Each structure stands twice: as structure tokens, then as C-alpha cells.
Amino acid sequence: MLENHVTLHDGEKVFIRPLKVEHASLYPDFLAEVTPDDLRLRFFAPMREANPELIDKLIHYDPEHAMAFIAIAETSGRMLGVVRLHDDPGGDGGEFAILVRSQLKGHGLGWLMMKHMITYAQEKGLETVHGQVLAENTTMLQMCAELGFHVAEEASERGVKVVTLPLHELPTLTAH
């Protein structure tokens, strides 16, 4: 599944689709509305704002080894969130990362994007998806637990948890 139309808790209609180079112009407005704290939860480093080099890297991913989905508000055309999945080198898993526009947190978009990414990974035939989450990021850890992820300490980094979802344990998900 590459594209999906979803509705948030507040009724907002959102189109989730693969991120393409032509979406580059939506990124600055999106990241300008992500708080420094949320940027730190996503990138694990203090950041007042994302620099052009980082945006360029996020947009020009290698489609052979990675996928990114963008969420676009159907009425305004604004970028509301992004979830990425990068293949493990030589493995059967993928590492995800997700970011939602800060003012939109709690409206259900993160959950829907995670389900979209998980369904894509299942259809791709991956065995697991996993991600790193700061231990203080209780919203994300709780959401992952509700989605069926196992949560463990990251051996190599203090204060970081690794969340892993074995896809063969799951029924095929639908994004609704």
C-alpha cells in the first residue's frame, strides 16, 4: 500500500503518499512548525531548526533501500507529517523514524502513519521494523507498545530505547 486517504480525530482529511523530490518546497514550512524539543526527540540532537543540507538529505533518499511517506492536508496542501523506513544493511528489517507537525500532536496522525508504514513493511516482506526512541518520549513509547512493539534498552546508548515489531506476529493491518 503506497497511498491512503485518512481522517484525523478532528475531521481533517489527510492524504498519505510516498515523499517525492517535488515535495521539497513543503518541508521548510513543516519544519518551521516543529518545536526544537520535537526536533530533538526525532533527531536526538539539539537543533533550533533543520538546515538545508538536512532537508536535502531527507528528500533525496535512495528508493532502492528506503521509503518515506508524507502526510498532506487535503484542503490546505500543507505537510503535516512524515514517516520513513530505511532497510537494514543486509538484513530483513527496517528502521523507522516519524515526525508530526507539533501543533497537530494528539490528533491521531502519528498512529495512522505508523500503521501505514507497518502495512508497507509487511507487504514488502520485511520481518521486523524497529526504531530508536528517547526514554523520556513516553508518548511514542506508549504508542509503540499499543501497536505491538517490544520495548528494550539500547545497549550502546544510555537513555535510548529500541522498539521492535516482529511483523510475522501480526495479522495484516489496515490503516483504518
Binding residues (CB under 6 A) for ligand COA: these are 38, 41-42, 97-100, 105-111, 131, 133, 137, 139-140, 142-143, 146
Shortest spacing between CB 173 and ligand COA, in angstroms = 11
Residue whose CB is less far from ligand COA, 51 or 103: 103
Report the candidate in 118, 82, 115 with the shortest Cα–Cα distance to residue 99.
82
- 148 φ, ψ (degrees, to nearest 5): 105, 5
Shortest spacing between CB 100 and ligand COA, in angstroms = 4
Shortest spacing between CB 84 and ligand COA, in angstroms = 9
Contact 7, 13 (CB under 8 A): yes
Residue whose CB is less far from ligand COA, 22 or 74: 74
Residue whose CB is less far from ligand COA, 22 or 130: 130
Residue whose CB is less far from ligand COA, 59 or 131: 131
Report the candidate in 79, 86, 100, 87 with the shortest Cα–Cα distance to residue 143.
100
Shortest spacing between CB 29 and ligand COA, in angstroms = 16
First CA to last CA distance, the chain: 13
Report CA torsion sign: 130, 135, 141, 145: positive
